[in-house]
C-alpha cells in the first residue's frame, strides 16, 4: 500500500508540473454596427485588391496542411493536435516571409483570425497586423478588420489591432461604453485610447503589445500598467467618461 500511495503521489506531482501548451479563450466578434473604422483605415482598405476574394484561389498545399491541422485541433482540443497546428503554422509563417504579397491568401488571414479568437495569442494578431499594414496593399478586407480589431468575451474586451476606430460595447449590466482609438499607426507608435460612457462600468480591457515593441508603456495619468512585448496588457478597472490611456509601443 505504501508503494501504491507513493506512486499515486508521484503521478500527481508530475501532472501538476506539466503546463498545457495552449490556452483557449474563445472571444467573439462584435455585431455589425458596433465597430466603426476611421477614415484613414478605411482608405487603406479601399486600395485595389484589398478585398479578400482577390486571394481566394491563391492557396498552396502547405497552407492547406495548416488549415487541416487547425480543423483537427478545433475538433479534438488536444495537446497533440495543438502541437501539429503550432509546428505547421510556424513553418508556413517562416517561409511566408520570402513570398510575394500575392501568395498571402484570404484563407491565411481567416486562419489567423480564427486562431486569435480561439487562443488569444499575440503572434496571430501580429501576423494580421503585418497583412494589414506591412504590404504595398492591405491583405485584409474591411469585413475581416471589423471582425477582429476588437473582440469580446462578455465584459472582457480585446484590442487586437491598432488603427483609428470606435467601439460601442453594450455592457452586461446595461448601458453603453464607447472606446475610441486615436492614432496615426503604423507611422506613429503612439495610440490614444479614450472612453465615453454615461455611467461608470467595470471592464477588463486587454491591449495587444506586439512582439516587436520596445520598452512599451500603457499609462493612465500617473498609473502605469504592466506592458510586455508579446503579451496583452490587462486593464481591469471601473471605466468612466473621459478616461484617457496612452499606449507607447516604442520608447
Contact (Cβ atoms closer than 8 angstroms) between residue 94 and residue 2: no
Q: Tell me if 141 is assigned to some domain.
A: yes
Contact (Cβ atoms closer than 8 angstroms) between residue 200 and residue 240: yes
Q: Tell me if 52 is assigned to some domain.
A: yes
Residue 3 has pLDDT above 50, yes or no: no
Q: Tell me if 6 is assigned to some domain.
A: no
Q: How many domains does the chain have?
A: 1
- Model confidence band, residue 197 (pLDDT cutoffs 50, 70, 90): very high
Least confident of 53-62, 67-76, 94-103, 139-148: 53-62
Chain position carrying cell 486593464: 235
Residue 54 has pLDDT above 60, yes or no: no
Cite the beta strand spans of the chain per DSSP E: 28-29, 35-37, 150-153, 156-159, 165-170, 176-183, 190-197, 201-209, 217-220, 223-225, 231-239, 244-248
Q: Tell me if 223 is assigned to some domain.
A: yes
Is residue 181 helix, strand or coil? Answer: strand
Mean pLDDT of the chain: 86
Q: Tell me if 33 is assigned to some domain.
A: yes
Residue 5 has pLDDT above 60, yes or no: no
- Model confidence band, residue 10 (pLDDT cutoffs 50, 70, 90): very low
Q: What are the respective helix, strand and coil percentages of the chain, to the nearest 5?
A: 40, 25, 35
What pLDDT was estimated at residue 237? 95
Looking only at the bridges linking them, the beta strands covering 201-209 and 156-159 are parallel
Residue 210 has pLDDT above 60, yes or no: yes
> Which carries the bigger pLDDT value, residue 251 or residue 217?
217
d(CA 170, CA 78): 34
What average pLDDT does this structure show over 138-154?
94
Q: Tell me if 46 is assigned to some domain.
A: yes
What average pLDDT does this structure show over 175-201?
96
Range of the domain at 50: 28-59+105-248
d(CA 59, CA 56): 7
What pLDDT was estimated at residue 11? 38
d(CA 21, CA 9): 23
Q: Tell me if 121 is assigned to some domain.
A: yes
- Model confidence band, residue 96 (pLDDT cutoffs 50, 70, 90): confident
d(CA 204, CA 235): 6
Contact (Cβ atoms closer than 8 angstroms) between residue 44 and residue 144: no
What pLDDT was estimated at residue 99? 54
CB neighbour list of residue 71: distance below 8 Å, 6 or more residues apart: none
8-state DSSP, 57: T
Around 155, how many Cα atoms within 13 Å sit in the side-chain half-sphere? 16
Q: pLDDT of 135-145, one tens digit each?
A: 888 889 999 99
Q: Tell me if 68 is assigned to some domain.
A: no
Amino acid at each position: 500500500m505504501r508503494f501504491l500511495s507513493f506512486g499515486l503521489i508521484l503521478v500527481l506531482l508530475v501532472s501538476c508540473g506539466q503546463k498545457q501548451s495552449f490556452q483557449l479563450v474563445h472571444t467573439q466578434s462584435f455585431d455589425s454596427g458596433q465597430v466603426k473604422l476611421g477614415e484613414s483605415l478605411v482608405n487603406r482598405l479601399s486600395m485595389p485588391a484589398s478585398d479578400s476574394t482577390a486571394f481566394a484561389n491563391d492557396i498552396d498545399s502547405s497552407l492547406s496542411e495548416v488549415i487541416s491541422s487547425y480543423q483537427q485541433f478545433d475538433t479534438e482540443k488536444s495537446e497533440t493536435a495543438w502541437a501539429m497546428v503550432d509546428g505547421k503554422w510556424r513553418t508556413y509563417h517562416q517561409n511566408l516571409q520570402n513570398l510575394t504579397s500575392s501568395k498571402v491568401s484570404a484563407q491565411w488571414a481567416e486562419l489567423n483570425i480564427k486562431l486569435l479568437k480561439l487562443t488569444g495569442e499575440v503572434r496571430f494578431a501580429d501576423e494580421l497586423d503585418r497583412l494589414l499594414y506591412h504590404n504595398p496593399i492591405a491583405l485584409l478586407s474591411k469585413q475581416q478588420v471589423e471582425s477582429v480589431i476588437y473582440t469580446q468575451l462578455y465584459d472582457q474586451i480585446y484590442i487586437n489591432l491598432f488603427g483609428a476606430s470606435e467601439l460601442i460595447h453594450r455592457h452586461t449590466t446595461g448601458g453603453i461604453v464607447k472606446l475610441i482609438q486615436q492614432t496615426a499607426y503604423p507611422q506613429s507608435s503612439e495610440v490614444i485610447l479614450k472612453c465615453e460612457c454615461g455611467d461608470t462600468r467595470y471592464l477588463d480591457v486587454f491591449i495587444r503589445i506586439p512582439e516587436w515593441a520596445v520598452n512599451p508603456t500603457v499609462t493612465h495619468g500617473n498609473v502605469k500598467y504592466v506592458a510586455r512585448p508579446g503579451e496583452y496588457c490587462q486593464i481591469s478597472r471601473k471605466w468612466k467618461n473621459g478616461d484617457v490611456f496612452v499606449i507607447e509601443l516604442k520608447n
